[in-house]
Chain A
């Protein structure tokens, strides 16, 4: 079946360093959503991208949707302790369902 691959599985960064997670699909997606799950919490919607090549920013977070609508990335500039958590992408398939990536866990080294 259709899959959305998300890498890396974990990323350790020093506070203040940047962080990026990538999602790739073998097929064209209709849209992509990003969610954040804090430790011990539930996933919370961050943003949705729909258009080819779309770039959206939320303060230090930059979200991109590839030109072919097969890949997406989330980049965090100058990480802070509040950024800790797992970031999930979820791509919309042709059956109007979301296909979830496995998530990238952001760990900030003390």
Chain B
């Protein structure tokens, strides 16, 4: 158990819909990262938040947005969903400044299926 929690575990929805994925980082970790992993593919970095502020952006679509709240939990919002958005979405957290010198602890992921 990494200490990072994600809800829900599974999500099935239809094209055009909007969903929200939730992540609670490890206690004390200020940085949260979101990743997308399509079937049997690598990890696509989406976005990083540090202590409530956006720190880095990866290949995140305009239809996707995220935020980190004062209690440090984070939400990833996916809207106007398309079939190609079906994937496993991981949240990870790391300590302190969350730079590249700190290991990332991954949650169990949310599997999104868009029908």
Contact = CB atoms under 8 A, between A and B. Distances in A.
Interface in B32-77: 40-43, 45, 48, 56
Contacts, number: 57
A28 to B, nearest CB: 13
Interface string A84-110: 000010111101111011110100000
User: From DSSP, what is the main secondary structure of chain B's interface residues?
Assistant: loop
Contact of A88 (B2, B42, B103): B42
A42 B90 contact: yes
Contacts of A103: 42-43
Interface of A: 30-31, 33, 35, 41-45, 48, 50, 88, 90-93, 95-98, 100-103, 105
A50 B43 CA distance: 22
Closest 9 CB pairs of A and B: A92-B100, A96-B99, A102-B42, A45-B103, A42-B106, A103-B42, A98-B100, A43-B106, A100-B43
A45 B100 contact: no
Contact of A42 (B2, B45, B103): B2
